[in-house]
Amino acid sequence: MDFHLPAEITAKLAEIDAFIEAEIKPLERENMQFFDHRRENARTDWENDGRPRAEWRALISEMERRADKAGHLRLGLPRSCGGQAASNLMIAAIREHLAAKGLGLHNDLQDESSIVGNFPIIPVLDAYGTPDQKKYIEGMISGKMHLSFALTEPGHGSDATWLETTGVRATDGSGDWVLNGMKRWNSQVARAHGNLVFARTSGKPGDAKGITAFIVPTDAAGHKVLYNHWTFNMPSDHAETELKNVRVPDSAILHKEGEGLMVAQRFVHENRIRQAAASAGAARYCITEAAKYARSRIAFGEPLSKKQAIQFPLVELYAECEMVRNYIFRTAWQMDRQDPLEISDMVSICNFRANRLCCDAADRAMQTHGGIGYSRAMPFEHIYRHHRRYRITEGSEEVQMRRVAQYLFGFGGKKANASA
């Protein structure tokens, strides 16, 4: 067994580091109001329901343009999308590496923009989309034609099979579908041209079958963004959306009628391991910075690092970070060798343990730094507020633990993979 990252991955990390220093850091230094203590105010359009300011979006777009030109942005995408089909292990290693650098334009937390793009819906579009639907692929990469994601509802989050949005055939014989319902946390729909809406078209509440994914033009009659949710971490781009007698043709269906849940599962499953890697990297950053500060801060006549009350909590976090980080890499490596859905328990372990670890590490970094750690002069409050969201999104940590339990206790004939 070789636990070293393959040479092509370490070479790619070095290449990315050089690109960041040459192209991204100078751009970041020209726009420091988005990264220092002013970051939340500079990024947020308070008069536009707390959405991202146009200037902030423009800066991200310029970063992505440079990354795409250098061949980094599409690294994880299929070759048919202009990507390099990088392995799950490579993407996990990159996500962890970039997050471990701390806050910066190279890998921002707010909408998960990065020089190595995170586009979990694009492989789904590439695999199942019609030629007309695939126009969103290049549009999402370039930012010129965005597709948002509408699964969660006011009454249903992790219990997605119980969603109440419905799709029924129009009675006029046109073959169209009529959609009715509400969506919550409809991320980035305000700037989207299409909205991927999940609706029940057959079956009964709780059935996995019978949910269909529709690509709905955001300017369709009856599709209305009601308001934007303000969140723990601002700016926010998570809307409440109403669908009232929205008509779409049969060609709006992504994949197959009644099999939309598989589309949603592919989306969240791909994101879970990437979230975990980012959380592990951010945790490593917080732990490293806290240890560095403890060595230099003199209190009661000696460095804080001499105090066991400071040492032991950071040692616990450091040990857990090493174990979680390596388990994430192992799981990503295994995802490259078998269907990721077959090892959902391993992916879920990565996700809930890493996300919780990051919140604990950010909190401990604040505590170690004392008052200055609580201030916005330091990045820890920003890291905590963002990664706290990960403990809810893509399936809450309770749902992740339930998934592990299914494998551990053999529910539904499943068998645990984690100790295999």
pLDDT in tens, 152-186: 999 998 888 999 999 999 999 899 999 999 999 99
Model confidence pLDDT, tens digit, residues 175-223: 999 999 999 999 999 999 999 999 999 999 999 999 999 999 999 999 9
**How far is it, in rounded angstroms, from Cα 119 to Cα 140?**
8
Q: What is the CA radius of gyration of the chain?
A: 22
- Given a cut of 70, whether residue 232 has pLDDT beyond it is yes
The alpha carbon of 46 is separated from its chain's Cα centroid by a whole number of angstroms, namely 24
Q: Can you give the pTM of this predicted structure?
A: 0.93
CATH topology for the 146-254 domain = Butyryl-CoA Dehydrogenase, subunit A; domain 2 (2.40.110)
* Tokens describing residue 16: 């990315």
**pLDDT mean over 349-372:** 97
**pLDDT mean over 341-346:** 90
Percent of the chain with pLDDT over 90: 89
Q: Return the residue matching tokens 């946390």.
A: 185
**How far is it, in rounded angstroms, from Cα 61 to Cα 53?**
13
Q: With cut-offs at 50, 70 and 90, classify the pLDDT of residue 313.
A: very high
Contact 302, 308 (CB under 8 A): no
pLDDT of residue 112: 81
pLDDT of residue 340: 85
**How far is it, in rounded angstroms, from Cα 123 to Cα 129?**
9
Contact 279, 390 (CB under 8 A): yes
**How far is it, in rounded angstroms, from Cα 73 to Cα 71?**
6
**How far is it, in rounded angstroms, from Cα 205 to Cα 202?**
9
CB atoms within 10 A of CB 55: 13
**How far is it, in rounded angstroms, from Cα 217 to Cα 194?**
4
DSSP 8-state assignment for residue 24: I
**How far is it, in rounded angstroms, from Cα 220 to Cα 20?**
41
**pLDDT mean over 128-135:** 95
pLDDT of residue 265: 83
* Tokens describing residue 21: 């220093």
Percent of the chain with pLDDT over 70: 99
pLDDT of residue 418: 59
- Name the residue with higher pLDDT: 148 or 339: 148
Q: What is the dihedral of CA 44, 45, 46, 48, to 10 degrees?
A: -140
Q: With cut-offs at 50, 70 and 90, classify the pLDDT of residue 420.
A: low
Domain ranges of the chain: 7-122, 146-254, 262-413
**pLDDT mean over 100-110:** 91
Contact 318, 365 (CB under 8 A): no
CB atoms within 10 A of CB 241: 25
Model confidence pLDDT, tens digit, residues 11-42: 999 999 999 999 999 999 999 999 999 999 99
Angle between helix 344-369 and helix 260-296 axes, rounded to 10 deg: 30
* Tokens describing residue 406: 């299914």
- Given a cut of 90, whether residue 382 has pLDDT beyond it is yes
Which residues make Cβ contacts (< 8 Å) with residue 339, sequence separation at least 6?
A: none
- Given a cut of 80, whether residue 362 has pLDDT beyond it is yes
Model confidence pLDDT, tens digit, residues 259-282: 999 888 888 777 899 999 999 999
pLDDT of residue 109: 75
Q: Return the residue matching tokens 């959902």.
A: 344
**How far is it, in rounded angstroms, from Cα 325 to Cα 318?**
10
**pLDDT mean over 353-374:** 97
Cα dihedral across residues 261, 267, 273, 279: positive or negative: negative
Cα dihedral across residues 147, 153, 157, 163: positive or negative: negative
- Given a cut of 80, whether residue 1 has pLDDT beyond it is no
pLDDT of residue 9: 97
**How far is it, in rounded angstroms, from Cα 279 to Cα 180?**
36
Regarding the domain with residue range 262-413, which homologous superfamily does it belong to in the CATH classification? Answer: Butyryl-CoA Dehydrogenase, subunit A, domain 3 (1.20.140.10)
* Tokens describing residue 217: 């033009």
**How far is it, in rounded angstroms, from Cα 256 to Cα 379?**
44
**How far is it, in rounded angstroms, from Cα 277 to Cα 415?**
25
- Given a cut of 80, whether residue 48 has pLDDT beyond it is yes
